[in-house]
Amino acid sequence: MRLFAVVNQKGGVGKTTTVANLAYTLADRGKKVTVIDLDPQGSLSASFGINAREFSGIDEVLIDDLPIAQALVNVRENLDLVPSGSKLGNLEQNSEGSAARAKRLKKALAELKGQDFVFLDCPPSSGFLVVTALYATKEVLIPVASEYLSLHGLSHLMGTISKFEESLDQTFKQWVVITRFHQRRKLARDVVKTLTDYFPGIILATPIRETSALAESPSFGQTVFEYRGNCHGAEDYFSLGTDLLEERTI
């Protein structure tokens, strides 16, 4: 089972979009996938047409030690979701008992049986929930928009991850996904070159092109494959799934 924390403290980089569509294409290929909505906003849950406040979620797993199996919601074939729940925001604001809750998440993930992939969609911050996800997982997936400011943010995030590696005495396998890519823009191409120069071997091969379908599909509770399966976004996320399976990088 491969466990991924999907992180970026910068919002608007396509983090939740990446989790939803990458999980869908892997499940569609017969992989057993679980996604966990670790963002109090519940955007990942909404992307699959689920109102997170109507279900037991990862909040009750962390707060009340609810068995994670009781929080699973089957949203597509081979694909289960653990919603965020209504109390998750309280944890981000209150760090009391944080060590015990971090251990609960790690224990809960170990209880997931028969899964090939687990993705934790983290909030755009460096707070308790992100720390908890890093403590519980083995790989880090970082969506980065092909914009100049994203480079500065990535450098800061890499430094934060490095500190976690030191404190936890472990090494994360790191992957970067280039999102919101515009092939015709020189800046976008320059950002990709800079990323590959500074972070060789961890940039997944397929950049995700900007397309309106990726922005529109969550409002219908659908992935881009279900909403408009012949668009660039669907093509790119299918290819990204292959990148992850085969560990293809540029």
Return the CATH number at 179.
Answer: 3.40.50.300
Name the residue with tokens 């797993």: 61
Q: Are 34 and 115 in contact (CB under 8 A)?
A: yes
Q: Residue 202's pLDDT is what?
A: 96
Taking the whole predicted model, whether its pTM rises above 0.85 is answered as: yes
Bridge partners of 34, per DSSP, are 80, 118
Q: Which residues span the domain enclosing 56?
A: 2-246
- Quote the radius of gyration of the chain (alpha carbons, Å): 17
| Pair type for strands 117-121 and 2-6 | parallel
Report how many domains make up the chain: 1
Average pLDDT per block of 10 residues along the chain, 250 residues long: 95 95 98 97 96 91 95 98 92 71 92 96 89 93 90 85 88 96 90 91 97 97 98 98 97
Q: Is 248 helix (H, G, I), strand (E, B) or coil?
A: coil
- Residue 3 corresponds to which tokens in the numbers above? 């466990």
Q: Residue 176's pLDDT is what?
A: 97
Q: Residue 203's pLDDT is what?
A: 96
Q: Residue 72's pLDDT is what?
A: 97
Give the integer Cα–Cα distance in Å for 60 and 51: 16
Q: How many residues does the chain have?
A: 250
Q: Residue 96's pLDDT is what?
A: 63
Phi, psi of 135 (to 5 degrees): -65, -30
Give the integer Cα–Cα distance in Å for 76 and 225: 12
